[in-house]
Amino acid sequence: MTSRRTLLKGTLFGSAAALQPTAAPASGGGPFLRLPAPTGPYPVGTQSVHLTDPARTDPWVGGLRELMLTVLYPARSVRGFSRAPQLTPAEAGVFAEYAPLVHPGLPEPGAVDWGAVLTHGYVGAPPLPGRQPALVYSPGGGDSRTLGTTLAEDLASHGRVVVLVDHPGDASQVELPTGMRTTVLIGPPDPATFRTMTDTRIADLRLVLDRLGDLPLAPVMDLCRIGLYGHSAGGTAAVYAARHDRRVGAVANLEGCLDLNPTSVEVDRPLLLFRSDGFEGAARIESSWASLPGRRVLLADANHWAFTDYGSLVARLQTAGLVTATARAALIGTGDPVVTLAEVRRRVGAFFARHLL
């Protein structure tokens, strides 16, 4: 257990009705938490997809490279369909153990019933007719795809198909048909390990781009309007994956460093460079972005994980007495979580609306 804490404390990358703790405890004994509702005109459907890449060997455990995706989309109707949990029961148990290790200051196992958190996506709901822009998301290092749910649901509710990608091996937990995968990193990643992780993520994203036309929701995707976005290490991977891929029309980088190579990265398509004002890695971020012509936005009174579901979760856990003010500031900043979330949704949504016409 000590090695996990050492590992995850050292990772620099991430990995008005927000969460509402109620007086009644959830079945696991903690506060009942809700994710913020999407703001768009469409209800949201959701499907999970398992992919394998026969051309690659998993760099962490050997064997075939596997991925898990969550596809969110505007639905025609959700009547008669059930809301999806944010985590499967097995994932919730593992996440409860890893959460305070990935992000020190989060509640210890047993304090929160993570398995009771529901998304606003309805499993298997029929999609809205027509073809919508497709957005592909890569989460921060140490985080699973499920922690990008709040932003993705909002994007889907405004008429996009959003594909959340898990990267088994560095994500805290991923439940695959072949079993549960947890992070294999031990200690802060050295440069070679970080490069392996990022190169693997880039290859994962390219696999997803290759397979978009084969996914069950392909008939409602407009594959001439594809965007990539990612948080932290996911933002790094999204930019590098898009560089030489003409299928990608726009990229949003949510506080990911772009210094994989000695020379500056070149990006010849619309690029959103979005960072918080409280992140301890700001100097590195700014240095690696210095030569890029992208649109720069600063998220005020925020910290690194305000771009993820933690932006709402942590604030409400503090209200419930389960997270200290110091831990909250270190994770998401001191700003009003409702204002912060609205700004993230507005900026990312407007960027893709403008550049994926």
Residues in the chain: 357
Predicted confidence (pLDDT) at residue 19 exceeds the cutoff of 50? no
Task: With H, G, I as helix, E, B as strand and everything else as coil, classify residue 4.
Answer: helix
- Each residue of 294-321: pLDDT tens digit? 999 999 999 999 999 999 999 999 999 9
Predicted confidence (pLDDT) at residue 190 exceeds the cutoff of 90? no
Residues 70-75, mean pLDDT to the nearest whole number: 98
β-bridge mates for residue 180, sequence order: 175
Q: Where are the alpha helices (DSSP H) in 61-176?
A: 89-102, 149-157
The answer for residues whose C-beta is within 8 angstroms of residue 229's C-beta and 6 or more apart is: 135, 136, 137, 138, 235, 238, 251, 252, 253, 254, 272, 348, 352
pLDDT for the residue 187 = 59
- Each residue of 255-301: pLDDT tens digit? 999 998 877 788 899 999 999 999 999 999 999 999 999 999 999 99
pLDDT for the residue 30 = 63
Do 343 and 254 meet the contact criterion of CB atoms below 8 Å apart?
Answer: no
Beta strands in 139-196 (DSSP E): 161-165, 173-176, 179-182
Do 180 and 90 meet the contact criterion of CB atoms below 8 Å apart?
Answer: yes
Do 107 and 317 meet the contact criterion of CB atoms below 8 Å apart?
Answer: yes
d(CA 352, CA 357): 8
Going by their DSSP bridges, the two strands 83-85 and 161-165 should be labelled as unpaired
Identify the band that residue 200 occupies on the pLDDT scale cut at 50, 70 and 90. very high
- Each residue of 113-156: pLDDT tens digit? 999 999 999 999 999 999 999 999 999 988 999 999 999 999 99
51 φ, ψ (degrees, to nearest 5)? -120, 150
Task: Provide the token pair at 180.
Answer: 């549960």
Do 112 and 120 meet the contact criterion of CB atoms below 8 Å apart?
Answer: no
Reference 15, options 256, 338, 301; nearest CA is 256
CB 338: neighbour CB atoms within 10 A? Answer: 15
Task: With H, G, I as helix, E, B as strand and everything else as coil, classify residue 308.
Answer: coil
Identify the band that residue 4 occupies on the pLDDT scale cut at 50, 70 and 90. very low
pLDDT for the residue 186 = 62
Do 211 and 51 meet the contact criterion of CB atoms below 8 Å apart?
Answer: yes
Beta strands in 235-349 (DSSP E): 248-254, 271-276, 295-299
Residue 348's identity, in one-letter code, is: V
d(CA 118, CA 109): 19
Reference 272, options 338, 217, 353, 208; nearest CA is 353
Identify the band that residue 194 occupies on the pLDDT scale cut at 50, 70 and 90. confident
d(CA 173, CA 233): 16
End-to-end CA distance of the chain: 49
Burial of 54 (0-12, 13-18, 19+ CB in 10 A): exposed
